[in-house]
Each structure stands twice: as C-alpha cells, then as structure tokens.
Amino acid sequence: MPPKRTARLLRNMPMSEASDPFKRELLSVLPNLRAFAVSLCGNSDRADDLVQDAILKAWGAQDRFEMGTNIKAWVFTILRNEFYSQARKKGREVQDSDGLFTERMAVHPGQYGSLDLKDFAKALTQLPEDQREALLLVGASGFAYEEVAEICGCRVGTIKSRVSRARSRLLEIMQIDGEMDFGPDKSSASSTLRSFV
C-alpha cells in the first residue's frame, strides 16, 4: 500500500479500527473503489449504496479471500458484479440520465481548456457502460490491462479495444458539446493506448 494513502487513512480513524488485517485492507481500497463507483454510476447516492453492498459482500466472503493477494481487484470485481446484477434486477437502464454529478460535484476551475470537471464527468456517463468501466479501471483505478480483463471476465484484447473506443467516443462527445478545443489534430484520438497508462 502506498505510504501516503495509509497515512491519510489512519488520520481518518482511531488506531483500533485498523487493527483487523482484512478490515484494514478493505479500508485501504475504499477511497479508490468509491471514486470508481461514483464515476461508473454518475450518481453518488447510488454509488454509495453500491459500495455498501460491496463491503457487505466482501465481508461475508472474506474466508474466500487469501490475505496477501490482490484485495483491490477482488473487491472491485465484487462491486462490478453487484453493479450489473442490480441493473438487471431493476430492469432499467444502467445509466441515469438525470442528476449526473449535479449538486455534489464541486465545480473545479477548468485547468485544461474550457472543460471543467463536471462537464467531463457528464461526458463520461454518455459512454456505454462496458467502455466506461474499462476506461476507469485502466485510466484512473490504476489496474493493468490483465487485471481489468480478469475483473470484467473478458480477454485483454477486448479491454484494450474498449478503452480505445471509450477514449475516441469521449473526445467525440466533448467536441460535439463544444466543451473543449483539442487543437488542430483530432486524428490522434485513435492512437490512444500508447500514451495512456
């Protein structure tokens, strides 16, 4: 675990709370897991419910987790499966079209061009779920393609192609919305994987 993150987590809680190894491991991945959930759902209430379900499932299944192996990938797999199974159960579109990152997302001043974070988050939610999750897992959660393939239960090549399509599509959406000027050469959108990780 990166020392920085550990320090930040320990500041958040009394020492006794971090005593159980499984719990400590779980806590260490929670911030990133939650960021993934929020970005995936585009809605923080739903994301937090999802995170809660994932915590409960992971806790209940901790006997099946081997300490020292990759808990992050394990918990992300649980959350992802939960996301899709809930979506199926509810028989509705996975993606909410309203209330995307609305009130809660602080509007950060646009550092790059005119695109602020809220607009970016909104563009992200317009991607198909499989592309969005692949992009998030590789580009922000810090997983290797092989790990993402395992989390999503598909081949590495499939993940690479999803990430690539996600990036191209994202650029299209942002350009259509006129949120951002990418400069003269837009064709580089397709040569995504090289510089991404």
Partner 1 sequence: MPHEHAGKSKERLNGQNDPNRIISKKLKELYSAVEEEGIPDRFLSLLEKLDAAEKNGAPAAKHADE
Residue numbers at the binding site for partner 1 (CB under 8 A): 9, 12-13, 17, 20, 23, 26-27, 30-32, 34-36, 38-39, 44, 48, 51-53, 55-57, 59-60, 62, 105-106, 108, 111-113, 115, 117, 120-121, 124, 135-136, 139-141, 167, 170-171, 180, 182-183, 185-186, 188-189, 191-196
Least separation in angstroms between residue 186's CB and partner 1 is 7
Q: Which is nearer to partner 1, 92 or 108 (CB)?
A: 108
Q: Which is nearer to partner 1, 77 or 192 (CB)?
A: 192
Q: Which is nearer to partner 1, 126 or 192 (CB)?
A: 192
Q: Answer whether 137's CB lies under 8 Å from 76's CB.
A: yes
Q: Which is nearer to partner 1, 12 or 102 (CB)?
A: 12
Least separation in angstroms between residue 97's CB and partner 1 is 19
Least separation in angstroms between residue 13's CB and partner 1 is 6
How far is Cα 143 from Cα 32, in angstroms, rounded to an integer? 11
